[in-house]
Amino acid sequence: MGKFNFIKTSIEGVIIVEPTVYGDSRGYFMETYQREDFYAGGIKVDFVQDNQSMSAKGVLRGLHFQKKYSQSKLVRCIRGEVFDVAVDLRPGSPTFGKWEGVILSQENKRQFFIPKNFAHGFLVLSDEAEFVYKVDDYYHPNDEGGLMWNDKDIGIEWPVDEDFEIKLSEKDKIHPPFSEYKNN
């Protein structure tokens, strides 16, 4: 294996990235991004910004997207554990409306590449989580879109039981259903 293992998913363009981790008794070292390797692995994106957030257990951020100024994202969890989800919103895609999810954690060090025209969200499974991601376009506040996190038509299988408390922002509580997005 090279510095990265690029794992294709059930949705074209959505890729799980596993870095090579060099560790010993002192700790570890790994590269998290190297443009030539990523290009060779099928991720031909020029990132322009890095973002970081910290969230408590049960926080669900999403499902978010930019309407006109869509962003590709390379996401990872550097502390704690999250369940990360991408929903295909590409017009004409054979997987339109389908989702792919992956556990990202400080232990597995996996990254998740989400191409343009996808809704994205994550749920914090650990007591706290720090989440970082690269994007290939700047954030445009007036271009925000969102979908209901628990939309029945999308059918995301969040890894929680009925006793797990989901914490949403006021904005995320009022996102429209997928049917409304499809009809517009």
C-alpha 142: how far from chain center: 21
**C-alpha span between 69 and 183 (Å, rounded):** 20
Q: Is 139 a catalytic residue?
A: no
Of the residues 64, 120, 175, 181, which is catalytic? 64
Is the separation of the CB atoms in 112 and 99 below 8 Å? no
Q: Per the structure block, which two tokens stand in for 81?
A: 């554990």
Three-state SS letters, 105-148: ECCCCCEEEECCCEEEEEEECCCEEEEEEEECCCCCHHHEEECC
Q: Is 133 a catalytic residue?
A: yes
Of the residues 28, 39, 69, 133, which is catalytic? 133
CB atoms within 10 A of CB 104: 25
**C-alpha span between 122 and 86 (Å, rounded):** 9
Residues catalogued as catalytic: 64, 133
